[in-house]
Amino acid sequence: MNRARARHRAATAALAAGLAFGTAGCAGSGPSPFASGGFEGQGSEADPSGTGGDDAAQGGENDEGGESREGVATVDLSPEEISVASYEALLTAESLRMATTEGMSAAGFSFDLHLDRAGTCVGSVTMPGMGSVELLMRDDSVWMKPDTEFWELTAGTDEQALIGLLDGSYLLADTSDPEAAEMAEVCDYDTLWEDSGPGGSAEANVTADEVTDHDGVPVIPLTEREGDEVTEILVAAEGEPYPLLVRTWTDGMAMEVAFSGWNEPVPFEEPPADQVLDMSDFRDGGFAV
């Protein structure tokens, strides 16, 4: 294998590994929304309904009192039931935006993603020590635009000709490509929540505080404790019980994720063709440097 092809393959592998780490940071291992708490058997089959518009984006103001389970206002539910209702609202939404807040991301990992159930996604992921990657996804196509820091770390600072060609360009791949499929998991709505949710251990303890205000929206603060892991969730008290903010502490790491844009269209815009490089060509070194 020639040197150019080897360095391209190494950069591709680094990109896949970095974004796989991003997926783990969003859900599953480490601090993640809904990673703790909940009670087995407390959940029920979610009823996909979905709402839209500005009310949904702010936690909902369509139904005063927030009737969410069998006509009962959210504020009248038990803490465990609020936790389950909030998770079900998350699972059945058509789209959302989720972003780590400044100064509250695990080990320097951060993200800002706007995605929908149909597979459209726009956002970015920043990986500690690896730079950041802008992500776009629609149908089976994935576009990735790493920043200069990423290219310098993976290609080497002495490869200025290569970096000059790649920097500012998108790599385009199909999800049938194993590495691209791994990257696409970052933008897969359902995959994000596979290993999270309120269906955790029966030893988890869930408590609720009085309704308070978060960015002008009435919310119910939930605290879920299980062992050394603590999760705080601000749940919309009116309309659909969407989670609006989640703070998680586990293994000495903290993460805070803000949720918004509920059921709003994802602002996708395909990159110009002259800014796109095919992933297979890049991997195989099939372009001039």
**Rounded distance between C-alpha atoms, residue 7 and residue 5, angstroms:** 6
Mean pLDDT of the chain, nearest integer: 74
Query: Cα–Cα distances in Å, from 48 out to 33, 66, 93, 196?
Result: 21, 16, 8, 19
pLDDT exceeds cutoff 50 at 48: no
pLDDT at res. 202: 54
Q: DSSP secondary structure string, 167-229?
A: TTPEEEEETTSHHHHHHHGGG-HHHHTTT-SS---TT-EEEE---EEETTEEEEEEEEEETTE
For residue 187, give the nearest of 98, 119, 236, 245 by alpha carbon.
119
Diameter over CA atoms, the chain: 67
Q: DSSP secondary structure string, 41-105?
A: T-----------HHHHHTT--SSTT-EEETTEEGGGS-HHHHHHHHHHHHHH-SEEEEEEPTT-S
Q: Indicate the pTM of the whole model.
A: 0.74
pLDDT at res. 260: 96
Report residue 27's pLDDT band, with 50, 70 and 90 as the boundaries: very low
pLDDT at res. 273: 93
